[in-house]
C-alpha cells in the first residue's frame, strides 16, 4: 500500500472502494497503447472536448479476480495493467519488483463475495403495456 500511495496511484484510486468515485482521462502522460480511435469515452455522451478519452476510475476491490482490465477489456494480465497505468497515467516505468509489490497490494483487496450477492435477483413480471423487444 505504501508503494501504491507513493507512486501516485491513490490520487485516483482512493476511498473505501479504492476508486470508483471519479472520472479521469486515460492517457494523461502517454496514450493508452490499445486505444481505439473511435472510442472517445465520456465525449460520446457529453460531446464536451474535455471528456475525450475520459472514463470512470474503477474500484480496485477484487481487481485481481475481475479481468479483463480497462474500459475495453483488452488487457488480461494484472501485471501488464499495472505497468500500463504507471506509464500512461503517472509517466513512470515501474520495475518488476515494484509491479510485484503493487500486485500483492491489489490482491490484498480481494474479499469473499457474500452468497447473496451471487444470487440472481427475482424481478417483477413485465407490465402488459411494456413493448416486447424486437429481435
Question: What pLDDT does 129 receive?
Answer: 67
Q: What is the pLDDT of residue 100?
A: 98
Class of residue 24 by CB neighbours under 10 A (exposed 0-12, middle 13-18, buried 19+): middle
CA distance 62 to 67: 10
pLDDT of 134 above 70: no
List the grid coordinates of 134. 424486437
Predicted confidence (pLDDT) per residue in 77-127, tens digit: 999 999 999 999 999 999 999 999 999 999 999 998 788 878 888 888 877
11-31 average pLDDT score: 95
pLDDT of residue 47: 96
pTM higher than 0.85 for the full model?
Answer: no
Q: pLDDT averaged over the chain? A: 92
For the chain, which residues make up each domain, given as ranges? 2-112
Q: Which CATH architecture has domain 2-112?
A: Orthogonal Bundle (1.10)
pLDDT tens by residue, 32-70: 999 999 999 999 999 999 999 999 999 999 999 999 999
Amino acid at each position: 500500500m505504501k508503494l501504491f500511495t507513493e507512486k501516485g496511484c491513490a490520487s485516483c484510486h482512493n476511498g473505501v472502494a479504492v476508486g470508483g468515485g471519479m472520472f479521469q482521462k486515460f492517457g494523461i502522460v502517454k496514450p493508452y497503447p490499445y486505444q481505439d480511435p473511435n472510442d472517445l469515452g465520456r465525449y460520446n455522451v457529453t460531446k464536451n472536448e474535455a471528456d475525450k478519452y475520459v472514463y470512470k476510475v474503477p474500484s480496485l476491490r477484487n481487481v485481481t479476480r475481475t479481468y479483463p482490465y480497462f474500459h475495453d477489456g483488452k488487457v488480461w494480465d494484472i501485471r501488464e495493467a499495472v505497468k500500463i497505468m504507471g506509464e500512461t497515467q503517472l509517466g513512470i516505468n515501474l520495475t518488476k519488483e515494484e509491479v510485484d509489490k503493487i500486485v500483492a497490494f491489489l490482491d490484498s483487496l480481494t474479499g469473499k463475495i457474500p452468497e447473496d450477492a451471487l444470487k440472481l435477483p427475482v424481478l417483477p413480471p413485465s407490465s402488459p403495456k411494456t413493448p416486447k423487444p424486437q429481435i
